[in-house]
Structure formats: C-alpha cells, structure tokens
Structure 1
Amino acid sequence: MEETQSKFMQKSSKRKIEQFGRTISFICIAFIVLIVLSILYFVISKGVSTFTTDGVSVIDFLFGDIWRPGEVGENGEPLVGALPMILGSFFVTLLSALLATPFSIAAAIYMVEISPKAGKKILQPVIELLVGIPSVVYGFIGLTVVVPFIRSIFGGTGFGILSATIVLFVMILPTVTSMAVDALKSVPRHYREASLAMGGTRWQTIYKVVLRAATPGLLTAVVFGMARAFGEALAVQMVIGNAAMVPTDLITPASTLTSILTMSMGNTVMGTLENNVLWSLATILLVMALFFNILTRWIGKKGAMK
C-alpha cells in the first residue's frame, strides 16, 4: 500500500515538473514570437509611412534611379529612387555567391570524401577561425589590400562592386563550406558503398551519387551564404564607394541598401521624409530576409520529399 502511494506521488510530481517545463517553454516561445512580430510591425509601419504619409509612389521608389532625399524633382516629387541600392545589393550578393559556391563545394568534397583527416585537423579549424573574424576586419583588409589591387589593375578609385564582391566572397566562404560539409556528411554511407560495389570509381560516386543526394543541403548552404551577403553592412560600406548611382560596371563606386542605411540613419530626424525612406530600405531588407528563409524551408521540404 505504501509503495503504491509512493509511486503515485512520484508520478504526480513528475507530471507537475513536466507541466511546469511545458509552461516555461510556451512562455519563452510566445515571448520570441511577440518580439519578432513587434519588429515586423515596427519596421513595416515605419517603411510604409513613406507612401502613406509622404505621398511617395511605390513605383517611383522602387524603380527611380535618383537618390536625393532632401531634394525634389521638377514636378515636386521627392527624389528617393532606391533602384541603385537595390541593384547594388543584388549584384554583390549574386556575384559573391557565384564565386563562393564552387570553392566551397570543392573544399567540402575534399574534407569529407578525399581527405577527412586533413580536413578535420587543418581545414576545419581554419574555417572556424574565418567565421569568427569580425566584419570590420574584413572591411579593413579589403580597404588596404583589395581596393589598391583593383585600382592598380583596372584603374579608377578601386572602390566598387568588384571590391565588395571579393570581400563578401571571403566572408561567406566559410559559412557555405561548413554547411556544405554537413550536407555531404548527411549522405548515408550505404549510398557510397552501393556505388562502389557496382563498379563506380570514387569520382563517379562523388559526382553521381553523393552530390546528387546532398543537393538540397548544398542549395540551402548557398542560400544562407546569399542571405549573409545581402545583409552585410560594414565590410561592404568600406569598399564599395557608397555612391547612390545605378552601377554601370564593376569598378565604379556604387552602394547597397545596407551601406546607405548605416551611413545615413544617424543623420536624419525621426518622422521626416529622409528618415522614412531609410525605414523603407530597411523594409526591403526585411522582405528579402523573409524570402531567403522561405526559400530555405522550401528547399528543405523538396529534399525531404525525395
């Protein structure tokens, strides 16, 4: 009888502990959701005020090529065309991703399939070290090494999309590589064994079996790298030139959404047009961040379905 009561008391106390843990977890999750929704509401409400309060057309804002928030055009409309920054952000993101993808996948293949011991002992610590380097260090190296190099080769000032692409390439390389390594390691071992048993060479196994099986994970790694490149501010600001002009080539000064935001946000007054259009640029960044997250989830679901 006493043993039964003791077991009942133990079960009851465990249930209370579990219920308490669930309650704490729910509160934490609800708090996180509340913070995210508050950020979304704050940024979007500030960004939309450019069009609702200041009367700026969405078309003129997205496709206008003149960025002078303190001036007005011939028809009295504010000169707040964000097209130069949007194009600059997309150019540096796409170009850096195109450069980083083959290097990252090649490094991941070497670390996982060709020389796992050397990859674990040498390359893995190097990648972790590169991930931990602050953005300002990358920007300073780009300012003192990359920009003079571009200037000596192509002429001009050295500032521009090409310099920003090289800096971002080095910055996102460890991120994409580490995620590509995880994607390759997630491929079941029996896939490789089956391919080798059927007479496939090591390179045929890597190309036709391992890479194809890891494709969703590799695509996710590339998307994460693009997301980081799109949102990078300080390093890009130091080497791109920060000229709000539509980029015509890769070696003339340009600008991105993040570079204009970091330069201008502290020099404006809350509630003015100059401040509201910066919040509109931040809204574009927020939308792109959501897009990258949705794309990553979609790739993951497609990979799980296969």
Structure 2
Amino acid sequence: MNTRKAMADSAANVPAGPSLLREKGIIKRFTDRYSESRGKAIIYSSAFLMIIAVVAITLFLTLQGLRSFVIDHLNIWNFLTGTEWYPDRASNPQFGAFPFIFGSVAVTLLAALLATPIAIGTAIFMAELANKWGQRIMQPVIEILVGIPSVVYGLIGLSVFVPLMRAHFGGSGFNLLAGALVVGIMILPTVASIAADSIRAVPDKLREASYAIGGTKWQTIWKVVIPAAGSSLMTAIVLGMSRAFGEALAVQMVIGNARNLPHSIFDPSATLTTIITLSMGNTTTGSVLNDALWSLGLILLAISYIFILIIRYLSRKRVV
C-alpha cells in the first residue's frame, strides 16, 4: 500500500506532458503560427530601415552637395583643385577646397603612420607573446582609450602637443603634426583591437609548421603569422584611417584651422571636417557658402565610401 502511494506521489511530481501543457495553453503560446512571421517581420524591418537610412543620407547629401555646381554654377574642377578659400569677399569670392582635402588626407596618413607600428606591436604582444595575462591587462586599456571623449583628446593635444611644437619647432604650435599626433592616439585602440583578433585567427598549424623546421618565436611571428594575417591587418589600418578621416573636434583644437595650403607638417592647416564645423553656423540656408559647405560634406562621404570599398576588397583577399 505504501509502495502504491509512493508511486502515485512520484507520478504527481513528474513534469506535465505535451498534452497537458497544450491544454493549459503553454505550448500554444510558443507554437502560434503567427509568431514566426512576426519575428521575421521585425528582423526584416530592422534591416530594411538600415538600408533606407543609408540610401536617404546618401541621396540627401548628394542633392545638397550638388547645389553649388547646379544652382550656384561653381566650377567643379576649380572647386576641387583651387587653393584659395575666401567666400566672404564682396567681389570675386573664391571657393577652393583643395587645402582642406589635402589637410584631411595628410592628417589621416600621418596618424596612420604614427599609430600603426604601436598598434601592431600591441596586437602581437596581446596575441602571441602574452596571450593570457597580456589580454587581461591590455583589453581594459584599449577600452579606456576608446571611451575617452574626443574633446578630452583635443584638450590634451592643446595642453601638451601644441606647447611642445612651439618650443621645438617654432611658430604657434598649431600644425599638421599636432593634429596627426592627437588623431593617431585616437585610432590606436581601433587598429590594435582588430589587429589582435586577426593575429589570433591565424591557424595554429602554421605556427607548428614553422617551429617544426626550426623557426624561433620571432621568426614565426615575422615570417609566418604577420604575412598570413596581412590582409586582415591592412583592414584594421584602413578602418583606423576612416576613423581618423572623419574626426573633427579634436583636430580642430590643435591644427590651426588655416585656409592656406601648408608647405610642411609644421604649418597650420585645416581639414574638411574642421572647416565645416567652423563655418556652417555662420551661414544661411541657400547661400553660396552654405551650399559649398554641403559640397565639402559630399566629398567627405565620397572618400568614406572609398575607404569602405578598400575594406571590402581586402576582406575578400583574407587568408584567415
């Protein structure tokens, strides 16, 4: 009798079967024939909204940027290659954007040259030389560098780099090199983080093959790992350059914002982003200067697309 009672109690404690769950409506909630459709609708709508946003921004900026040439009749070649920017002249105003295009490209390239060796070295340290404790130490450092606001980098550059430039190279201290140093520090965590992931993705069998034929640790890193991750490392560098190209506030604080074409890295300059942020608030919608600034924004967008195309090309060539 006691045995039957125990069995009955055990049966009572057994989880409810599918039929009982269905009767209680539990399974029905999860097997509703419309639930999967609703989920797909939400996901596809999210993706569609992203596409619409990109297309809308591109079309809007294109239409606004072409006003200078279609409505105001500025010569597009003179606009791109001209070296004088004097939009406030009462007679014969000049809209030459080449100094700003040159300044943006120069700051981006200099920042990449300064940041890449340090970033790649940090990535090798994290992924190859100190894989465990190096990751625990360097990852928080990278996250801190990413989280620092742009204005803080600009203030550091204004307080440290500009006085150093003034003391050692003369002039005001506001120059291309100061801007490149600030931006180089800003893109360090981006390049280092992606480069470390690229190096970790190299198959271990390549390292083992190098050790098997007598290669040292450094020879394996230099001759095997880095070449195998080469295209991925280039992707990291290009991503850092795209980040540098679009920076405005930090560069604006240290570069000098001169309208003239610089003759050296120690001369003040300006970039596309700095001239837009400095001038847009002083224009009226529909004016020639306002339309010209939108054209500068269109140039920024076009060069950003070039960076994206380069990244896509490098991604297809990846070995790992």
Same fold (TM over 0.5): yes
Q: Where does residue 268 of structure 1 map in the other structure?
A: 283
User: In the TM superposition, what is the alpha-carbon distance from 1:266 to its structure 2 partner?
Assistant: 0.9
Residue pairs, 1:154-303, within 5 angstroms:
154-303=169-318
Amino acid at match of 1:237: Q
What whole-Å deviation, never above 9, does each CA across 1:159-201 have from its counterpart, x for those lacking one? 0101001111111111110111111111122221222122211
1:267-297 CA distance string (max 9 Å, x none): 1001100100000000011111111111111
In structure 1, the partner of 2:85 is: 67
What amino acid is the match of 1:23? A
Instruction: Check if 1:150 corresponds to 2:165.
Output: yes
Which of 183-192 and 58-67 deviates more?
183-192
Q: Which residue of 2 aligns with 1:41?
A: 59
1:20 to 27, 31, 38: 38
1: CA distance between counterparts of 2:207 and 2:33?
Answer: 46
Greater shift in the superposed pair: 63-72 or 282-291: 63-72
CA shift, 1:115, in A, is 1.3
Structure 1 unaligned blocks of 5 or more: none
Letter in 1 for 2:77: I
Shift of 1:53: 0.4
State the 1:71 CA deviation.
Answer: 2.3
Q: Shift of the alpha carbon at 1:216? A: 1.5
In structure 1, the partner of 2:149 is 134
- Which residue type is aligned with residue 70 of structure 1? D
For residues 112-146 of structure 1, the C-alpha deviation after alignment (integer angstroms, 9 at most, x for no partner) is 11112332122221111011100000000000110
User: SS of the residue aligned with 1:110?
Assistant: helix
**Alignment CA distance shift 1:15-1:91 (3 Å):** same
User: Once the 2 structures are TM-superposed, how far is the Cα of residue 15 of structure 1 from its aligned partner?
Assistant: 5.1
Amino acid at match of 1:163: A
CA gap 1:212/1:14 in 2 versus in 1, 3 angstroms: farther
* Structure 2 unaligned residues grouped into runs of 5+: 1-17
Amino acid at match of 2:307: F
Deviation at residue 302 of structure 1 after TM alignment: 1.3
Give the Cα separation in 1 of the matches to 2:164 and 2:32: 66
Return the offset for 1:70. Answer: 2.2
3-state SS of paired residue (2:86): strand
SS of equivalent to 2:151:
helix
More deviation, 252-261/188-197: 188-197
TM-aligned CA distance change 1:38 to 1:108, over 3 Å: same
**What is the identity, as a one-letter code, of the residue corresponding to 1:232?**
E
Q: CA deviation at 1:303?
A: 1.3
Identity over aligned pairs, percent: 48
CA distance in 2 between partners of 1:145 and 1:131 (Å)? 20
Aligned to 1:107: 122
Query: Is it true that 1:54 corresponds to 2:56 in the alignment?
Result: no
Task: Measure, in 1, the Cα distance between the counterparts of 2:53 and 2:121.
Answer: 39
CA RMSD of superposed structures (Å): 1.9
What are the superposed Cα offsets for residues 243-269 of structure 1, whole Å, 9 maximum, x if unpaired? Answer: 111011111211000000111111100
Separation in 2 of the partners of 1:210 and 1:14? 51
Post-superposition CA distance 1:67-114 (Å, at most 9, x none): 0112266xx4x4000000000000010011011111111111111111
Report Cα offsets for 1:184-237 as digits up to 9, x if no partner.
111122221222122211111111111111111100100011001100000000
In the TM superposition, residue 14 of structure 1 has moved relative to its aligned partner by: 6.0
Measured in 2, the distance between the counterparts of 1:270 and 1:21 equals: 43
Q: Which amino acid aligns with 1:238?
A: M
Larger radius of gyration: 2
